[in-house]
Amino acid sequence: MAALLDALVTTFLPSRCVRCSGELAAGSRAGICNACWSEVRPHAAAGCPSCGDPEAPLGGPCLACRTAPPAFAAATSWGPYLGALRDFVLLFKSAGRDELDVPLAALMTEALDRTGWPLPGAVTAAPMAPARRLRRGYNQAELLGREVAGNIGSRYRPRLRRSTSRRQTGRSRAERLAMPAGAFAARGPMPAEILLVDDVFTTGATMTGCTRALLRAGATRVRVLTLARTPHQGRIP
């Protein structure tokens, strides 16, 4: 029995960091060492309170949002999609490290706490095409959404689905923004205030499409929370 337990511990609780291969010390989280976690940095500033662009000047909505406000009421993220945070996201969504949902959702909850937004009626997440979810085994945005909902004492409700299998990963900004208006659909019942969760905000095309679907289904206000934001991508109306 002892030999079996040792084998299980070795298999399911690795002694080496999955990012840098360094030894895991006490207090490490989700198979990642403390040194790697210490490399993660939040945004230096809050940025635009409307679209959430951390590179926008402080002092109110950015010029793009004043010209053409986004479909969502507000957006925020924890940090830039660079370095260690980018590595963690890729491990989480592409390397099967679903145990990262808890510590990554904790960072998102920190970002949410800083906004002062009201408690949403429900938390939902950007959907994944069924075929992709079957291959991966989980939707990383849904795992994050469920954890965030639990952290803030709200309800998680899977309200969105993709009506197209078109992938955004690897596409140019122009291709992302050309996503069909009906790429996402939502189903009720729909609370008035919804928190929409995803892992990475790139151009905002996915968040805009999801928001419009939620609004069409009866929501009155959608706010967007992501773990990371891709730098230097501009702002989307």
* CATH number for domain 39-229, candidates 3.30.70, 3.40.50, 3.40.30, 1.10.260: 3.40.50
Angle between helices 101-115 and 83-94 (to 10 degrees): 130
What was the pLDDT predicted at 15? 83
| pLDDT over 90 percentage in the chain | 70
Look at 115 and 180; give whichever has higher pLDDT: 115
> Rounded mean pLDDT of 84-90?
97
| Strand 160-162 to 184-186 pairing | antiparallel
Indicate the pLDDT class of residue 60, thresholds 50, 70 and 90: confident
Least reliable range by pLDDT among 163-167, 191-195, 205-209? 163-167
- Amino acid found at 154: S
- Considering the chain, what is the average pLDDT of its residues? 87
SS3 content of the chain, % helix, strand, coil (to 5): 35, 15, 45
> Rounded mean pLDDT of 202-213?
94
What was the pLDDT predicted at 8? 47
What CA–CA distance (Å, rounded) separates 50 from 187? 26
Q: Is the pLDDT of residue 40 over 90?
A: yes
**Domain-wise residue ranges, the chain:** 1-38, 39-229
> Would you call 67 helix, strand, or coil by DSSP?
helix
What was the pLDDT predicted at 5? 42
> Rounded mean pLDDT of 170-197?
74
What was the pLDDT predicted at 224? 98
Indicate the pLDDT class of residue 132, thresholds 50, 70 and 90: confident
> Rounded mean pLDDT of 93-97?
90
What was the pLDDT predicted at 112? 97
